[in-house]
Structure 1
Amino acid sequence: MSRIGKKEIIIPTNIEVKIHNSEILVKGNKGKLSYNISELIRIEKTDNIIKLYKTCHTQKAQAIYGLSRSIVNNMIIGVSKGFEKKLTIQGVGYRSQMEKKDLILNVGYSHPVRIKPPENINIKVDNNINITISGINKELVGQLAATIRSVRPPEPYKGKGIRYENEVVRRKVGKAGK
């Protein structure tokens, strides 16, 4: 049984929520987001509280129940506060820079890697090694951070690569020399 789906979502005072059939539209001071909820889920809004209910008791409805609640909650958090992911680059000669809106990574390849962010997602580079990704859509922010990290994930011997800010990389002992 989903414990997440049962929780009610409290709407802050500066957020406007509209529900039309199965579509929910959330507007806030940072922007607006919309999401189509499955027909297996029914959504109700009373005053400043949103509750979700299952229309049938199947395994698929149970799976979508908690997911829908989390997505709607993340939409409300996103338009009010926003989301942010921080990455750091470690390695001699590894660096990053911005060119207009594109991120250019020099991480040991023979060519620079260019990453174009989706709309409504901002990338900021500090000291050529700290990358901050921010936006109102949690899914897009996380996906872009994962894409940037996958260009050069941290390797276990020297720890070189792109990692999340507080990520701990388990180090291996190199082979013993004679």
Structure 2
Amino acid sequence: MARAIYVRQEVEVPQGVKVSVTGKRVRVEGPLGVVEKDLSHAKDIQITCEDGKIVLEAFNADKKTYATIGTIASIVRNMIVGVEKGYRYKMKVVYAHFPMNVKVDEKNGLVVIENFLGRRGKVTARILPGVKVRVDKDDVIVEGVDKEAVAQTAANIHQATRLRGKQHMCPHGREGGPGILDGIYLYAVEHMR
């Protein structure tokens, strides 16, 4: 791809959402909360706020800069949707024999998983700031306004119960079976409102 002389992309800001841009820091405020991101890694891109829109511009843009503008536009759109509607990730606790106990330690910002595959030790997963986790029987519900933080917290919970290598054995000694499927798996992504 040849260099584009001028690239411009606009993101509409809806009513009830307030956006402020300071340098390369974008702050979005809405009815559900505030999300702030530092986008200083985008060196060749100018970010401005004008007439109820966020404008992303780049001059003499190569392929990487052209792609980065689209990525930043998506990040800003996700921030706006987050403060308007919020994000909810639903996860299911799956076990065959040993029932897992999942608890939320809000003081330390951890999800504690006990009795995973009958083990005595506890498995922990970190909860990112601004994310709420609650346990409802066999469901773990992760909610928040920042999509990246909510998704990363859900990934931390899934990775904590993921079996790797030789741990992922076949039950009953048969080959070619599905292996042990115990864990916590994501099954739905939706908005809070």
TM-score with structure 2 setting the length: 0.73
- 1:40 and 1:120 mapped to 2: Cα distance? 30
Contact 1:89 1:95 survives alignment (8 Å): no
- Contact 1:22–1:39, Cα closer than 8 Å, also in 2: no
Change (3 A) 1:116 1:152: closer
1:173 paired residue number: none
Deviations 1:24-47 (A, max 9, x none): 211112221222332311234333
Query: Corresponding residue for 2:113?
Result: 105
List gaps (5 residues or longer) in structure 2. 2-6, 169-177, 189-193
Which residue number in structure 1 is paired with residue 142 of structure 2?
133
CA–CA distance in 1 between the matches of 2:29 and 2:144?
A: 14
Within 2, Cα distance between the matches of 1:148 and 1:100?
14
SS at match of 2:151: helix
Of 150, 159, 171 in structure 2, the residue corresponding to residue 150 of structure 1 is 159
- Which whole-Å CA distance do the structure 1 matches of 2:85 and 2:131 have between them? 14
Higher strand share goes to which structure?
2
**1:96 match:** 102
Sort the Cα spacing of 1:63 and 1:27 in 2 relative to 1 into closer, same or farther, 3 A. Answer: same
2:24–2:38 contact (8 Å) kept in structure 1? yes
Structure 1: 5+ residue stretches without partners: 167-178
Contact 1:42–1:52 under 8 Å retained in 2: yes
Instruction: Output one character per residue of 1:54-92: Cα deviation in whole Å (capped at 9) or x when no partner.
Output: 233123312311111111111111111111111111113
1:66 to 51, 66, 70: 70
Report the count of equivalent residues. Answer: 163
Q: Give the percent of matched residue pairs that are identical in Structure 1 and Structure 2.
A: 25
- RMSD of aligned C-alpha atoms? 2.5
Cα distance between partner residues in 1 of 2:89 and 2:13: 24
